[in-house]
A = this chain, B = another copy of it.
Amino acid sequence: MGRWQPNARGRLAEAALELYGERGYEQTTVAEIAKRAGLTERTFFRHYADKREVLFSGAVDLEGLFARAVAEAPESAAPLDAVACGFGPVSEMFADRRDFARRRQAVIMAHDNLRERELIKLAALSGAIAEALRIRRVGEPAASLAAEAGVAVFKVGFERWIAESERRGMAEILRESLAELRSVAASG
């Protein structure tokens, strides 16, 4: 038995999500989050760089999963098809966490400071995908554009998946959104 309760990081993240949901992001102090997790404010900042980051510890996993899938796409796949290869694994990652994702998304969308952090995480995701494409010998600006387009599809699809009442799979919605993007981008 350790000297401290286990999983301090997770307790902090859960406490933060609860409090941001109950009182709102601005009305919650870091000291309150730490107290609910049974820790001190100083310890919060040892686990998370700032008050926003506590909601985004999953971002590196998402980025790694997505980028690896793009890197391992069939050699013959066109850039945007390679990006679409990331949709499958990512959909699985979220499959059994829809309620959590919905709760978290509602909190994030409620405050611009959190939206900003979400956007820079998506930008980092886009950068990692673009890098994976460049390794596949996709040139610029095609790599960046395919990555940005793919992330746009993911963003739009993710929000639809969260908003929908029917329990359609995320993968299906992402396929639809991708088709819609292709249709929109097709020259008239």
A positions within 8 Å CB-CB of B: 77-81, 112, 115-117, 119-120, 123, 141-142, 144-146, 148-149, 152-153, 155-157, 160, 177, 180-188
Give the distance in Å from the alpha carbon of A145 to the alpha carbon of B80 in the complex: 15
Question: CB distance A145 to B112 under 8 Å?
Answer: no
Do B180 and A81 touch (CB < 8 A)? no
The closest CB in chain B to the CB of A119 belongs to B119
Copies assembled: 2
6 A-B interface contacts by CB (under 8 A)? A77-B188, A78-B184, A81-B188, A142-B184, A181-B185, A182-B186
Q: How far is the CB of A20 from chain B (nearest CB, A)?
A: 18
* CB <8 Å contact, B148 and A152: yes
A27 CA to B177 CA in the complex, in Å? 44
Residues on B with C-beta less than 8 A from A185 are: 80, 149, 181-182, 185-186
Residues of B within 8 A of A180 (CB): 141-142, 145
Which 9 A-B residue pairings sit nearest by Cβ, starting from the closest?
A185-B185, A148-B152, A116-B116, A119-B119, A78-B188, A146-B184, A145-B181, A141-B156, A116-B120
A85: shortest Cβ distance to chain B, in Å? 13
How far, in Å, is A48 (CB) from chain B's closest CB? 15
Residues of B near A182 (CB, < 8 A) are 185-187
Q: Flag if B119 contacts A141 (CB, 8 Å).
A: no
Q: Bound state CA distance, A119 and B148, in angstroms?
A: 13
